[in-house]
Amino acid sequence: MIPSAPVPSKVLEDLVAKVRAGDCILFLGAGVHAPPPKDSPYVYPEEQRPPMGGTLAEELAKDCDFKKTLPYDKEWDLQRVSLCYETTQGLGRKALVDALCKRLGEGKEPSSALRMLAGLPFKILVTTNYDSLLERALRSWGKQVEPLIYNPTPDTVAQDTTEDPSSKRPLLFKIHGDLTRRESVVITDEDYIGFVQRMSEKEQTHPVPETVRFRLKRWPMLFVGYSLRDYNLRLLIRTLRWRVDPVNVPTAYSVDPFPDPLILRVWQDSRRFVTFFSQSLWTFVPWLYREVIGQDFPTDERPTTG
Q: Is residue 85 part of a domain?
A: yes
Which structural domain range is residue 287 located in?
9-38+110-293
137 and 66 in a single domain? The answer is no
CA angle 114, 119, 122 (to 5 degrees): 100
Q: Is residue 45 part of a domain?
A: no
Q: Is residue 43 part of a domain?
A: no
99 and 114 in a single domain? The answer is no
Confidence of residue 266 (pLDDT cuts 50, 70, 90): confident
As a whole number of angstroms, the distance between CA 160 and CA 190 comes to 26
Nearest of 36, 22, 3 to residue 287 by alpha carbon: 3
As a whole number of angstroms, the distance between CA 114 and CA 274 comes to 22
As a whole number of angstroms, the distance between CA 198 and CA 232 comes to 14
Residue 227 has pLDDT above 90, yes or no: no
Q: Is residue 306 part of a domain?
A: no
**Number of domains forming the structure of the chain:** 2
Confidence of residue 273 (pLDDT cuts 50, 70, 90): confident
217 and 246 in a single domain? The answer is yes
For the chain, the C-alpha Rg in angstroms (whole number) is 19
Q: Is residue 303 part of a domain?
A: no
75 and 213 in a single domain? The answer is no
pLDDT (tens digit per residue) in 77-123: 999 999 999 999 999 999 999 999 999 999 999 999 999 999 999 99
96 and 114 in a single domain? The answer is no
Which residues are 178's β-sheet partners? 181
Total-model pTM: 0.93
Burial class from Cβ neighbours inside 10 Å (0-12, 13-18, 19+) for residue 35 reads middle
The more confidently predicted of residues 233 and 83 is 83
267 and 138 in a single domain? The answer is yes
CB atoms near residue 114 (< 10 Å): 25
